[in-house]
Amino acid sequence: MTMTNEGPTQLEVAGDLLALLGETGTEPRSDGQLEALTLAVAADLPVLLWGEPGIGKTAALGQLAGSLELPLTTVIASVHEPSDFSGLPVVGDDPAVQGVAMAPPDWAVRLVRAGRGLLFLDELSTAPPAVQAALLRVVLERRVGALRLPPGVRIVAAANPRSSAADGWELSPPLANRFVHLQWAHDHDVVVRGLGGTWPRATLPRLAADGLTDAVAFARRAVCTFLAVRPALVHQLPTSEARRGGAWPSPRSWDMALRLVAFATAAGSSREVLSLLVRGTVGDGQGLELLAWLDRMDLPDPEALLADPGAAMLPERGDLRQAVLDGVVAAVRREPTRERWDAAWALLVRALQSGAPDLVVVPATTLASLRRDDWEVPAAVERLAGVVALSRGADRAAARVAQAARAGR
For residues 50 and 365, the model is more confident at 50
Amino acid at 346: A
Query: Which numeric CATH code is attached to 27-89+101-200?
Result: 3.40.50.300
What's the rounded Cα separation, in Å, for the pair 407 and 365?
Answer: 31
- For 131-193, the DSSP string reads HHHHHHHHHHH-EETTEE--TEEEEEEEE--GGGSTT--PPPHHHHTTSEEEE----HHHHHH
Q: What pLDDT score does 398 carry?
A: 43
Residue 78 has pLDDT above 70, yes or no: yes
Longest dimension (CA), the chain: 112
Q: How confident is the model at residue 397 (pLDDT cuts 50, 70, 90)?
A: very low
Q: What angle do CA 92, 79, 108 make, to 5 degrees?
A: 45
Average pLDDT, the chain: 84
What's the rounded Cα separation, in Å, for the pair 169 and 184?
Answer: 19
142: left (phi over 0), alpha (psi -120 to 50) or beta: left
pTM over 0.85: no
Amino acid at 393: G
Residue 368 has pLDDT above 60, yes or no: yes
Q: How confident is the model at residue 391 (pLDDT cuts 50, 70, 90)?
A: very low
Percent of the chain scoring above 90 in pLDDT = 35
Amino acid at 328: V
Q: What pLDDT score does 234 carry?
A: 94
Paired sense of beta strands 152-159 and 47-50, if any: parallel
Average pLDDT over residues 239-246: 88
Domain positions in the chain are 27-89+101-200, 209-297, 302-407
Residue 364 has pLDDT above 90, yes or no: no
What's the rounded Cα separation, in Å, for the pair 212 and 266?
Answer: 6
Q: What is the pLDDT of residues 166-191, one digit of tens each?
A: 566 788 999 999 999 999 887 888 88
User: In which element (H, E) is residue 102 found?
Assistant: strand 100-103
